[in-house]
Each structure stands twice: as structure tokens, then as C-alpha cells.
Homo-oligomer: A and B are copies of this chain.
Amino acid sequence: MTDIDPIAQRAAEAAAPYAAVAPARRAAALVSVADALDAAASDLICVAMGETGLSEARLTGEVRRTSGQLRLFAEVVVDGGYLDARIDEADPDYAIGARPDVRRVLEPVGPVLNFAASNFPFAFSVAGGDSAAALAAGCPLIVKAHSGHPELSRRTAAVVAAALADAGMPDGVFQLVEGQQAGVDLLEDDRIRAGAFTGSTHVGRMLADIAAARPRPIPFFGELGSVNPVYVTAAAAASEADLVSGFVASVSGSAGQLCTKPGFLFVPQGADLGDVRAAVADIEAHRLLNPGIGRGYAQRRDAVLGAPGVRVLAEGTVREENGQRFATPTVVEVDLETLRAHRDELLDETFGPLSIIVRYPDAAALPDVHRDLFPGNLTATLHATDADAGDVRDLVDALAATSGRVLFGGWPTGVSVTSAMQHGGPFPATTTDATSVGTAAITRFLRGVSYQNAPQSLLPPALRDDNPWDVPQHRRAAGASQRWGSLTGAI
């Protein structure tokens, strides 16, 4: 059993010195980690292939994404806009009453515990997006390794730890733990100030409940389940020649083990989709990540295939070999009424290469159908033509109200890591509405602190008048509320 006490203590002791590291040095450390990962990529990918069954091409792209997002966060740190530095100068004539000099900046929350995911052994694991965001925010990080790729986790951790040490970061800024109990014990430790998680709804909810039940609760940013419905209008179904091939590619990539895999494709009754069986015929069997996920997929697939009213378009296969399961895509079809009648059997996420085509009779009913069936998802996608634009407004509103990302054409898999990405939506997509991908993810690990009438020498650098870090400062001078007057004409 892991003694988590010294681990939590090291992280706690690293909090103040790491928070004090100047942005340029912190950014350089993130870039060092990125460079070290790239340098170690071929060895790490070899280990990852054995432990996860994912392909070399997929893992090569994933390492590129992982080091790339570390560099992207380095850029964010140097830019400093994420600090949301606000300076309100003292104003004896302020409309609500004389105000002092008040300045506010976002500061790191302290030690962060990140539960790594199984399905992205790089991009959502030891050096993945949550880790990059926490380190960029200035928080000491403890990663709980996923049991699906233990050796890769250890090797990646060694690369990360060495790069951070070489860059002069304080001891205790990065640590790795293994085992469920160690993870739970740390999550319950008062020194841990925030949690992050990517995984199943069942486990994520259990951990979120632990975080909320602590004597001092902490925020827990969990990315749980999502089925990512895709809606196709009649005009789009008639005009998109590559609709089914694109769908099948999105469902089967990485054996469907992606949080953004399209689990439902809504097409009009009567629309001709061509030969779905033929579209999947050439896709080779892909190993599922580990025996537990393989077993879960086989059971869930059996349940879907056995549900009343389900028509099999491409049955696919699941075969077992040396304890691992290998699968080819399964695509089934149901009528909308069948889906609604058997929602308990059919609506849950299937983690693997299975998707359900839903035949709908009336496009006008889709906004209500969507709100009813899909209250929380990472993504929702609309395939429409220019001619549909006037008719889909309500559906787009419904998708935006229930999802973190709304796509117009294309497929939800392949999440771009950018400043405008939102990867998080209403529960169960995430436990909060925060994003775990893209630069906005950094705000999860920050909290606001105001300084009132502080002398310049005791202000954080980002709030000082001489602005030594050259960060964007939102300054509000005395009497500077121009719009105020025009809105009120009174004060």
C-alpha cells in the first residue's frame, strides 16, 4: 500500500515556490517537457503499442498532440492574459461609494491530483492535457497512473520529472502514484486542492462524490460519458456522398474508444444510405484497450443487439485472443419510436466500435427529441445544407443548450487543441461545465485573489504598475465608467 502522506506533503511544500516561478521560466519548463517527450517518442510509442493495442500511426499523432499542447500552454503562460489581471484605481467619487485601490489576479489553487485515462495513453495521461493545464497554472501535480498502461506511465513520468528538474523547477512539482487506493486516499487528503479525471461515468461520479464529501470540499473536474449524437437533414443525406464512409471512419477509429465517438446517427426515414455493411467490410479487427474494456464492450454490444426492434446493418465481430478482445465495427438501426421506448437499454454509451443509426419521421420534432434524450454531451453534430439554414435554428439551439461543442458537418472525433475549444458539457459529459481541452482548461486550476491598497512592493508582479511580466492588465481609472452614465443618466 502506498503511503500517500509524504507525496501530499511534497506537493504542498512545492506549491509556494512553484507559484513564484516567473512565467518565462515556467513556460520554458513546459517546453523542456515537450522536447523531452518528442525525443523519447519512439521508445514510448513502442511501450504504448504493447500496453494499449493502439496503432503506431495513432500514437505518433498523439505524442505530437501531447507535446504540442505543452507548447501551447507555454505560450499561454507567457502571454499572461489567462491571469485576468484587473486594476481598479481608488476613486473617491465611485458611484456605489468611495472605493479603495483594488487589484485582482488569478493564482494557482495548489496541488492538483489528475486521474489519467486509459484511451489516450499520452494526451490524457501522465503528460496529457490536464497535466499540462495544472503545471501551466502553477500548481504542483500528482498523476494517478491508469492501470491500463503502467510501464508507459512510469517511463513518461521519468521523462517529465527529469525535464522539470533540468529546468530548475522545485522538488515535488510532479509526482506519479499507482493504484486505486492511493488515488482515493490522495483525493481525500486536505492538501490536495483540485481533482481532474477522464474516464467512465461510474468511476468519475464516485470520485466526484468523494471530492464533494470532504470536510473541505474541492472542485473535481471529471470528463465522464458522452454519446455525441449526429443529425442529418434530408437534403444532407441526399447530397453527401461520403456520409456513411465518414461515419464509419469516425465510429471505428481507435476501435471506437474515444469520448467523442458518434454513438447515434439520426437520418430521415427512407433516406438511402447505401450499403453500410460494405462500408465496414474492409475494416480490420482492432484490439480493445484492455481485458476489462473488452469485456464491457462485448456485454454492451450483446445488450444492444438483443434489444427489441434493433435491425443489424453490419454485425461486426468480437473475438478473444490471449485474454484480449479484438473487434470490427457493429452498426445497427432503429426507428426513433423504438429508441424512445427502449431508452434504458439503448441510450447508454457503448465504449467501442458500435453505433446506432436512428430513423426519424419528422425533422421538426428533432429539437424536442434531442432535449429529451440527450441532456448532456461533449458534442452534437448537424449535417445540413445551405438550403436547410432557415429550418435548423431550433435544433442548433437545442444542441448548444446540451453540449459543449456543436459541429456543422464533419465528425466529432479528432478534437482540435486550440484556444477556442470546449471539451466539456452538461453532466454526464463532465461533472462541471469546464473544458479539459484547449487553453481555457487552465482556468480550472486558478482562483481569484484581490489586493486592497497594497504597496507596490507587496503586489504580485502581474498587478504592479510597472508590470514586469508584461501581462495584459485591465485597468479602470477613477471616473472611467463612460457607459454607466449613458445607461442611467442618473448617477
Contact = CB atoms under 8 A, between A and B. Distances in A.
A232 to B, nearest CB: 15
Given A421-B450, A458-B396, A61 B97 contact: yes
Contacts of A460: 400
A216 to B, nearest CB: 4
Contacts of A487: 27-28, 31, 71, 74-75, 78
**A interface, over-half SS:** mixed
B393 A458 contact: yes
A129 to B, nearest CB: 11
B420 A216 contact: no
Contacts of A396: 458
Of the candidates A15, A65, A420, A460, the one having the most CB atoms from chain B within 10 angstroms of its own CB is A420
B422 A450 contact: yes
A449 interface: yes
Interface stretch (A86-94, A170-178, A323-331, A353-361): A86-94
Contacts of A100: 410, 416
A298 interface: no
B104 A422 contact: yes
Contact of A447 (B409, B433, B484): B433
Contacts of A440: 84, 86, 104, 448
Interface in A389-414: 389, 392-393, 396-397, 400-401, 403-410, 414
A426 interface: yes
A88 B401 contact: no
A179 B426 CA distance: 29
Contacts of A198: none
Interface string A63-92: 011001101101100110000101110000
Nearest to A96: B68
Contact of A389 (B79, B431, B453, B455): B455
Given A95-B68, A432-B219, A458-B408, A416 B102 contact: yes
**Chain multiplicity (copies):** 2
A104 B421 contact: yes
Interface stretch (A157-165, A206-214, A267-275): A206-214
A405 B449 contact: yes
A444 to B, nearest CB: 11
Interface string A413-425: 0101111111011
Interface string A458-491: 1010000000000000101000010110011011
A265 interface: no
B426 A448 contact: no
A260 to B, nearest CB: 11
B64 A96 contact: yes
Nearest to A194: B433
A393 B476 CA distance: 27
Interface in A351-397: 375-376, 386, 389, 392-393, 396-397
Nearest to A416: B99
A120 interface: no
A476 B389 contact: no
A51 interface: no
A418 to B, nearest CB: 4
Contacts of A34: 488
Instruction: Give me the 6 closest cross-chain CB pairs, A-B, nearest first.
Output: A433-B447, A68-B96, A212-B212, A422-B450, A86-B420, A104-B420
13 contacts: A35-B490, A69-B96, A71-B484, A75-B487, A109-B433, A216-B376, A217-B427, A392-B458, A400-B449, A405-B450, A407-B453, A408-B455, A440-B448
Given A78-B487, A393-B458, A408-B451, 19 more contacts: A68-B97, A69-B96, A71-B488, A75-B483, A94-B416, A96-B416, A209-B212, A212-B212, A216-B427, A219-B433, A404-B450, A406-B449, A408-B452, A408-B454, A408-B455, A418-B476, A419-B476, A424-B448, A426-B447
